[in-house]
Amino acid sequence: MGNLRWRCMYIVQLQGFEVKGQQGKVYGLRKALCGLKQAPRAWNQRIDEFMNICQHNVRPEKLIVYLYVDDLLVTGSCEELISNFKTQMLKEFEMSDLGRLNYFLGIEFIEIKCGIVMYQSRYVLDLLKRFEMVNCNAANTLVEVGLGLEKESEEEVVDSTAYRRMVGSLRYLCNTRPNLSYSVGVISRYMEFPRISHLNDVKCILRYLQDTHSYGILLGGGKAGEEVQITSYSDADWCGDKVDRRSIAGKQPVVALSSCEAEYIAACEATCQAAWLGSVIEGLKVELAKRVGLLVDNKSTIDLAKHPTSHGRSKHFETMFHHIKQQVNNRKLEVVHCRFKDHLANILTKALKGECFQSLRKKIGVERAEIDEDHSRRRLKT
């Protein structure tokens, strides 16, 4: 796992493996064992040292390594570079090369001509089996989720542990199914004392998954060497939470006094996220467009963002939310109006009816992944 260089650690002798005549003595650890609270730090330092050595030996080609605990994904611009990295890893650590990526952390991957599809069909089917919903009637929309729900009602209280287990499982699924984010966010508000109506909405989501278990998100589509353009969408459902009246854009930290203010706060948060994403992309040595595009469906918000001075409608806004003005003035951000039906963030902030929901679902890249019986052909069904 790694050396324990910063402190001495001792453990008692294991039962059945004591040294005769020295049963009262303890072992001094030279390396961290799995289960020690110091083990994660020791392993992180060990792998970090190795990566720093590799970094000095890397040629101009790109090598990208993703590390989750002790599982690694490796990609790069050169097959030889990847092969050399694997050879170095094998010399330094005991490891297994599992080949091309097809399953990782409960997520399945399909390589197609236009990119990679991430989906969790196996995870969903296991979810339905675990919660006894395998034979449920399938639903093709989520429009009913969240309608009329109340935090305090006279309804029967259900098992909160089972409810939290179901909601937690659905939250992980949002990694590859962003179209579920709003519905899962709604049912997450009632974790403390869930009622029968809240449980019914969870089951509604599971019935939707019964019909769409093979859906996933398509990543890619750009050309090699092409400049990357970050385009972000911001939207808010003003006073969307009926209990504390906070607007839904995630969930805003303050109560907005108007739809313009709610949209402005959401736009600022989207600007910060775009800046962070830009720094990640630049760290991967990918050429990035200098200006970020921000699409908003509220014209008053756009006017406020482009106006360099304070306005009567915004004089009470917290200072931190005016970061968007600075980005616009520095020509790092371009704010553009977007029509409601084309605004991709709508699917993340409000319940939408069938046709609109399915249209936006496709536009954000969520498609049905299909694998032929012989697994030789992989494709997307549009």
Q: Is the confidence at residue 170, as pLDDT, over 70?
A: yes
Q: Are residues 86 and 141 in the same domain?
A: no
Distance CA 271, CA 330 (A): 13
Specify if 373 maps to a domain: no
pLDDT at 303: 82
The pLDDT, as a whole number, for residue 382 is: 42
Q: Are residues 172 and 234 in the same domain?
A: no
CB atoms closer than 10 angstroms to residue 378: 14
Is residue 184 situated within a structural domain? yes
| pLDDT band at residue 144 using 50, 70 and 90 as cut-offs | low
pLDDT band at 377 (very low <50, low <70, confident <90, very high): very low
Do both 91 and 154 map to the same domain? no
CATH number for the domain including 325?
3.30.420
Question: Where residue 122 falls among pLDDT bands split at 50, 70, 90?
Answer: very high
- Cβ neighbours for 366, distance < 8 A, ≥ 6 positions apart: 177, 178, 179, 215, 216, 217, 218
- On average, the pLDDT of the chain sits at 81
54 in any annotated domain: yes
* Helix, strand or coil, per DSSP, at residue 311: coil
Same domain, 78 and 167: no
Q: What is the pLDDT of residues 38-53, one digit of tens each?
A: 788 888 888 888 888 7
pLDDT band at 168 (very low <50, low <70, confident <90, very high): very high
- Alpha helix (H) ranges present in the chain? 39-57, 79-92, 121-130, 160-173, 181-187, 196-212, 259-283, 299-306, 323-329, 346-349, 354-363
Return the DSSP state at 11. E
Banded model confidence at residue 120, pLDDT cuts 50, 70, 90:
very high
What lies within 8 Å, CB to CB, of 272 at 6+ separation is: 323
Q: How confident is the model at residue 130 (pLDDT cuts 50, 70, 90)?
A: very high
- Give the strand pairing for 115-119 and 107-112: antiparallel
Q: What is residue 381's predicted lDDT score, i.e. its pLDDT? A: 52
How many distinct structural domains can be found in the chain?
3
Tens of pLDDT, residue by residue over 318-360, are 666 677 888 888 888 888 898 888 888 888 888 888 788 888 8
In a domain, 248, yes or no: yes
On whether both 227 and 203 belong to a single domain, the answer is no
Residue 374 lies in a domain: no
pLDDT over 90 (residue 169): yes
pLDDT-derived band at 374 (thresholds 50, 70, 90) equals: very low
Query: Are residues 239 and 329 both part of a single domain?
Result: yes
Whether the per-residue pLDDT at 165 is higher than 90: the answer is yes
> Quick check: is 111 in a domain?
no
Asked if 107 and 215 touch (Cβ cutoff 8 Å), the reply is no
Q: Is residue 354 part of a domain?
A: no
**pLDDT bucket at 162, cuts 50 / 70 / 90:** very high
The mean pLDDT of 174-200, rounded to a whole number, is: 89
Tell me which residue range forms the domain holding 33: 10-100
Domain membership of residue 377 (yes or no) is no
pLDDT band of residue 26 (cuts 50, 70, 90) is confident
Gap between the Cα atoms of 56 and 20, Å rounded: 49
Q: What is the pairing mode between strands 107-112 and 333-337?
A: unpaired
**182 and 286 belong to one structural domain:** no
pLDDT of residue 371: 54
3-state DSSP call for residue 230?
coil
| Residue pLDDT, tens place only, 48-89 | 888 887 776 656 778 888 888 888 999 888 888 888 889 888
| 125 & 158 share domain | yes
Task: Specify the pLDDT at position 241.
Answer: 58
Q: Which of 203, 218, 233 is the last residue of a domain?
A: 218
Do 328 and 234 lie in one domain? The reply is yes
The C-alpha torsion from 182 through 318 and 337 to 289, rounded to 10°, is: -90
Q: Are residues 235 and 257 in the same domain?
A: yes
Q: Does 338 lie in the same domain as 259?
A: yes
Q: Is the pLDDT of residue 259 over 60?
A: yes
Residue type, 323: H
Looking at 98-102, 315-319, 359-363, which range is the least confident one? 315-319
Distance CA 140, CA 116 (A): 25
Same domain, residue pair 96 and 132: no
Does the structure show a pLDDT above 60 at 375? Answer: no
Q: Is the pLDDT of residue 127 over 90?
A: yes
